[in-house]
Structure 1
Amino acid sequence: MRKLLAGGVAMLIAGGAWAASVQEVGERYMKLVLAVGRHDASYVDAYYGPAQLQEQVAKEKLSLAAIRAEAEAALHSLPALPAPAGAGIDADEQLRITFLGKQLQSMLMRIDMLGGKKFSFDEETATMYNAVAPRHERGYYLELQDRIGKLLGGEGPLAERVKAFRARVEIPKDKLRPVMEAAIGACRERTEKYIPLPAKESFVLEFVQNQPWSGYNWYKGNAHSLIQINTEFPIYIDRAVDLGCHEGYPGHHVYNALLEQTLVKGKNWQEFSVYPLYSPMSLVAEGSANYGILMAFTPAERLAFERDVLYPLAGLDPSLAEKYAGLTQLFGKLAYADNDAARSYLDGKATRAQTVEWLVNVLLYPPEKAEQRIRFYDANRGYVINYTVGADMVGDYVKRHATASDPEAARVQRWAAFRQLLSSPRLADSLRQ
């Protein structure tokens, strides 16, 4: 009996030391993310941890070489997986180890890139986001374009016909706020039905211009976000639900709020109070935000909401809703053309002019919007795969957990899996399992 007791105590001590080691690496990781942010203004997407840590980082002024050395040391300090048998380490704690390891590996690559080292598109995404996008040639998208052309009807270049139809569903500038607020409100109502939101969660909605993105969520901590919508280019009626779900509910706002509630406050895992944009975390963040649109609305529910609520609110013709919904679903299937354009452009296999042509004639972007997209490639490089590969991986993960034959029961199971994902340290590898 004494031997068993002694062995149990020893195991508890080992488990406690193991957990303390992880906590220490998490604290070092926080500081290093902020330190990289001093060299890369876009790197720190959100931080709501202690202000004194920011002050310490500003005072230390670590060089990239010093940050790299500390990041390597932190990576090597992580306890090996799997955890010791019987150590009392739960599955989330082991996911935490994997999370910190992948995040630190991506940090090392980002530091190398800031120092001038070059990587191919696929090399970058494999380490930075823990995933590689599939490749498609132009011919892959022709069948989708034929279907879009048949649905649209008419004559002339397909891109021009798409542009002309979209002009009929553009939200007037003076209607943007009420339409966006109605869309975000519906996204929130549908999310709250399945995910209890933190008390006093909130957001502020702003309209901006001259950005390389169409919408952005700036998470501020304490379940509060600033959501910005770029009005530089026309905003079409489908973007109201897209942006409302993606930036708000159950997208970025909910993801960050649940991480804060569950991990930062619930488990004291302070490393989740900092979010490095160029890291594997973004594949889950963008993937869940994009797939969250399908979580909130089935295609039929979305069509009814847009036709009966948003079209009248925007002063648009509701009779266009069904046709445009069909078009947007086909446009969604073209999404991987964005990855193919970015890869060719960033790997130097396509010029800027050739990339604009691809975006206009394959992805069916307006020419001026294509130029904005290239600015996004220049600024964010391989980040683009997170919207497509990320959404598919999140969708596959959620669907695997929906085993009920009853549709509503399966929906409840999907939401439960989605909520668990948003509240845990899961990255791409754990989504594949």
Structure 2
Amino acid sequence: MGFELRDPSDLNALAEDYVSLALHLHNHDPNPYIFIGDKALQAAIKADKRALRDLDVAFMRLREALAAISTLGCEQTANRRALLVDRADALLARSAILQGKMPTSFDAEVEALYSVQAPEQSEDHFRALAVELEHIIPENGPLQERMSRYRDRFLLPPEHVEQTVAGALEEAQRRTRAKMDLPEDEDITLLMNNVGSFGAFAEYLGKGKTNVHFSTTMPFHVDRAVELATHEAYPGHHVQATLLEAEMIDRRGWQEFTMLPLFGAHTIVAEGAANYGVSLSFTREERITYDRDIVLPQAGLTHLASEIADYHRYVDYVERLNYARNEAARRLLYQGWTRERAVEWLMEFGLETRAIAEMRLTIIETIRSYVITYNYGLDWVRDRIERNDTPNTTQKWTRLRGLFEAPVMPVKSHLGMVQRWP
């Protein structure tokens, strides 16, 4: 059965076609997605599974119809069309991967799915950063073994994780509301359960409501309370989706934003902005203070209070090594490495503990090159917010909100429609 475009000359109709096609694709794609549109449409498409090769024809027709839309004299329409072409290209690329037709390289996959070129880092780059950790991690012996023992001293007992996460979410909400006007009835529901391979996942339900899922099986260290509360909720994905819905769907009527899959240029902004919001909400000193005065007592780890500043020095250095996750994905997906070799590589060059390296690889096996959206996405968002001047904190919050309320994304030059963001 074919898929007919509603009206190839109407951009609004083509946006609705994109939503339908993306839903059809997800009959084959196990990765999660956010959909806040017509639930009857979603249910009907779930019951109407079509072959990917047939959908590919519709994806190409959608792309061709978008290319033919006139945007003369209307910059907003031109940008909207370019964003939709990017999404159509990403649908085609994801469909090919689901059919076992892989891009020629990791970089080609990144370009096809996310419209960016993330930098490749050498092993020497990671070695140079790792040297600095030698002065932080106590004891003698191989750095990886010392580091694993050191970090696991700051592991929260499982029975304390939910209380700690709930408290961090409340504090992150308070801080975000002090800087951003949010709807009075926006709210989140904390669910301690397991969602696929993710340590946490924000499931936006629409109208300012989000289920924030947290894994009960993955290692949960002291620093993750603030990191995940800010990334998933305030001012991260929950706030992003709330503001995006109000602006792009309710005000502009752009129905394509009812559908947010884990591919397309929009994910660079989504994950990058969520990571940027962590340090914007809590300065480094504020995180140290919060972990020392709130998290450690809640977890029964007050005996570590005098060491929390040094622990955050360690966390800072490991975070600087996070591009190692991209390189592990490159080697696992395209260079024939076994899972065990990739885990050991992450332990050596990303200085992850084995448990966390295993978790990273499980995520990479599921979401593939999406891993670049967290680190390259953060760099891209930071550059957009801070590159032209030295903004103060208030300006940073304002610009962050602006990224949620405007279709500014690193879209490649599709058919000359827009310029790639530098």
User: Given the two structures, how large is their TM-score scaled by the length of structure 2?
Assistant: 0.90
Could you say which residue in structure 2 is the equivalent of 1:8? none
Could you say which residue in structure 2 is the equivalent of 1:219? 204
8 Å CA contact 2:195, 2:213 repeated in 1: no
Could you say which residue in structure 2 is the equivalent of 1:171? 156
Which moved further from structure 2: 51-60 or 181-190? 51-60
Mapped to 2, the partners of 1:116 and 1:228 lie a distance apart of 30
Distance 1:346 1:19, change over 3 A: closer
For residue 280 of structure 2, the aligned residue among 292, 295, 313 is 295
Distance 1:320 1:403, change over 3 A: closer
For residue 241 of structure 1, the aligned residue among 219, 222, 226 is 226
Instruction: List aligned pairs for 1:403-422, cutoff 5 A.
Output: 403=390, 410-422=392-404
8 Å CA contact 1:207, 1:228 repeated in 2: yes
Which moved further from structure 2: 141-150 or 360-369? 360-369
Q: Which amino acid counterpart does residue 12 of structure 2 have in structure 1?
A: Q
Matched, 1:232 2:217: yes
For residue 268 of structure 1, the aligned residue among 253, 257, 262 is 253
Q: Which amino acid counterpart does residue 109 of structure 1 have in structure 2?
A: A
SS at match of 1:392: helix
Mapped to 1, the partners of 2:353 and 2:122 lie a distance apart of 21
Question: Could you report, residue by residue, the CA deviation over 1:287-309 in whole angstroms, capped at 9, with x for unpaired residues?
Answer: 11111112212212222222222
Instruction: List aligned pairs for 1:34-433, cutoff 5 A.
Output: 34-42=23-31, 45-78=33-66, 83-85=71-73, 89=74, 91=76, 93-119=77-103, 120-209=105-194, 211-316=196-301, 317-400=304-387, 402-403=389-390, 410-429=392-411, 432-433=421-422
Greater percentage in helix:
1
Question: Could you report, residue by residue, the CA deviation over 1:263-286 in whole angstroms, capped at 9, with x for unpaired residues?
Answer: 111111121111111222221111
Rg bigger for which structure? 1
How far did 1:90 drift?
5.2
**Matched-pair identity in %:** 30
Question: Could you report, residue by residue, the CA deviation over 1:243-277 in whole angstroms, capped at 9, with x for unpaired residues?
Answer: 00111111111111111111111111121111111
SS at match of 2:136: helix
Aligned-residue Cα RMSD (Å) equals: 2.2
Mapped to 2, the partners of 1:59 and 1:349 lie a distance apart of 37
Mapped to 2, the partners of 1:271 and 1:28 lie a distance apart of 9
How far did 1:178 drift?
1.9
Distance 1:307 1:368, change over 3 A: closer
Q: Which amino acid counterpart does residue 423 of structure 1 have in structure 2?
A: E
Unaligned runs of 5+ in 2: 1-6, 412-418
Distance 1:134 1:82, change over 3 A: farther
Which moved further from structure 2: 164-173 or 30-39? 164-173
Distance 1:116 1:363, change over 3 A: same
Q: Which amino acid counterpart does residue 414 of structure 1 have in structure 2?
A: K
Mapped to 2, the partners of 1:281 and 1:381 lie a distance apart of 17
Mapped to 2, the partners of 1:148 and 1:21 lie a distance apart of 57
Question: Could you report, residue by residue, the CA deviation over 1:167-194 in whole angstroms, capped at 9, with x for unpaired residues?
Answer: 2211122221221112112211221122
Mapped to 1, the partners of 2:194 and 2:72 lie a distance apart of 53
Q: Which amino acid counterpart does residue 166 of structure 1 have in structure 2?
A: R
Distance 1:81 1:160, change over 3 A: farther
How far did 1:147 drift?
1.0
Question: Could you report, residue by residue, the CA deviation over 1:3-43 in whole angstroms, capped at 9, with x for unpaired residues?
Answer: xxxxxxxxxxxxxxx9982211111101001110111132x
SS at match of 2:156: coil
User: Given the two structures, how large is their TM-score scaled by the length of structure 1?
Assistant: 0.88
How far did 1:403 drift?
4.4
SS at match of 1:40: coil
Question: Could you report, residue by residue, the CA deviation over 1:144-181 in whole angstroms, capped at 9, with x for unpaired residues?
Answer: 21211211132011122112122221112222122111
Mapped to 1, the partners of 2:231 and 2:389 lie a distance apart of 22
Mapped to 2, the partners of 1:83 and 1:419 lie a distance apart of 27
Mapped to 2, the partners of 1:266 and 1:199 lie a distance apart of 18
Question: Could you report, residue by residue, the CA deviation over 1:96-128 in whole angstroms, capped at 9, with x for unpaired residues?
Answer: 222111111000111111222111211111010
8 Å CA contact 1:129, 1:282 repeated in 2: yes
Mapped to 2, the partners of 1:431 and 1:416 lie a distance apart of 23
Mapped to 2, the partners of 1:344 and 1:361 lie a distance apart of 14
Name segments (4+ residues, structure 1) moved above 6 Å: none
Question: Could you report, residue by residue, the CA deviation over 1:347-378 in whole angstroms, capped at 9, with x for unpaired residues?
Answer: 12433222111112221222233233222222
How far did 1:209 drift?
4.4
